Structure 1
């Protein structure tokens, strides 16, 4: 009965992303097993430095009463982008039909809340109106793709606020989603099955996961 209760329990995802002026902020909270396991990832800022982007991240968690915390600073440049491309290529190579496995898991995600507010202003009424229309177009396109990937269980709230007499830009996204523990476990099993069909697939995945472990500062 306990295993069944765990399998039917939800993994809760709560995210907040914003950009106001030059200030960027991203936060992701993950709750598992009715709050027994908690994880938080915070990226308080991203800064452009020459040809790279500097990211500052903070991680914290609570697992069975044990608190964990770490922070890290890293730069994303052309070399980092190349490594990401190579890892993605390896994932596809190590797993047969990886896209189908991922799509199945995404279909199990239940989106409970999606609020996205954007404020735009160019200082000119005509160009502000055009920019506002473009922002609406981008938002509806993103929402259309999202609705094809996950299950929307609440009406998304989209808003674009034009400022005709000022130059400004800010955007803020808040979302809440849930997925069954059983769905994540099923994806892991499917990954192992599909990876096992490729030569070196299983060992390749474990090597990738090891390389992707965060490094503390």
Structure 2
């Protein structure tokens, strides 16, 4: 009963903060238009300054309102990993892509990329895999569970933020082997469990307009790992920024309350 009452109070507070944030966004947009008009009036002799400023203001407003499309494609192929990021803005009028070698990305992030030699007897087309173990999968599963527990307190605000992202396409295929048939079978179950948890998280927290496709294929004759992931995400920057600021505000306010409680104690 207390838990339901607390959730209701938090929900009411979030609604109040949402109304405040909407009012703030409206004031900011009105201020931007007023500022552009003021510059246009001040520079009557050079009216093109005002026109440029007004055009930039309108462009920024459109960029916040119109959807942005992001394409993510990751593939383990041969001895190198590749991550491709593609972005489309203003219905494809502005688009660019970038290929990221993940080994170089890991080095920049301060991590070490280790290349594994293929196991003996592994077919040539299977070479270039990285070793996967049961412990690695169990660690991933624990991290997912910890993350779900941490966001429980801000579930409603988190959903408002994550629901601004729409999944238009999602395909994730994995092939692996541990070198031992029994262990490979057990690891297959863990891999399906991890993908199942991720799938339920996506359906619950994101807006999904398509069927999520994911697959796990065990390889009982080789030791290694290969995966391919492709995903298309669409979102509106203004809506995402607004929801994100609401979430950050709630998180900061909760932290301030916790510090006050500790100081009184």
Task: Give the TM-score taking structure 1 as reference length.
Answer: 0.58
The equivalent position to 1:13 in structure 2, one of 63, 70, 73, is 70
Residues 1:30 and 2:87 aligned together: yes
What is the aligned partner in structure 2 of residue 153 from structure 1? 209
Counterpart of 2:110 in structure 1 is: 76
Tell me which protein shows more helix as a share of its residues: 2
Aligned to 2:224: 168
- Contact kept, 8 Å, 2:165 with 2:207, in 1: the verdict is yes
Q: Say whether the 8 Å CA contact 2:161–2:244 is kept in structure 1.
A: no
Q: Does the CA contact (< 8 Å) of 1:20 and 1:169 recur in 2?
A: no
- Higher relative contact order at CA 8 Å, sep ≥6: structure 1 or structure 2? 1
1:133-152 equivalence runs, <5 A = 133-152=189-208
Deviation at 1:44, TM superposition (A): 1.1
Measured in 2, the distance between the counterparts of 1:183 and 1:112 equals 18
What is the deviation of 1:35?
1.6
1:131 and 2:165 are equivalent in the alignment? no
Structure 1 unaligned residues grouped into runs of 5+: 55-73, 78-96, 199-217
1:19–1:171: 8 Å Cα contact kept in structure 2?
yes
Shift of 1:106: 1.4
Instruction: Give the unaligned 5+ runs of structure 2.
Output: 1-57, 112-152, 254-265
State which drifts further: 175-184 or 3-12. 3-12
More strand by proportion, 1 or 2? 1
Residues 50-75 of structure 1 deviation map (CA, whole Å, 9 limit, x = unaligned): xxx40xxxxxxxxxxxxxxxxxxx24
RMSD: 3.5
Which residue pairs with 1:110 in the alignment? 166
Count of residues paired in the alignment: 154
Contact 2:76 2:226 in 1 (8 A): yes
- The alpha-carbon distance between structure 1 residues 127 and 47, as it changes in their structure 2 partners (threshold 3 A), is farther
Task: Return the index of the structure with the highest Cα Rg.
Answer: 2
Q: 1:190 to 1:126 in 2, by over 3 A?
A: closer
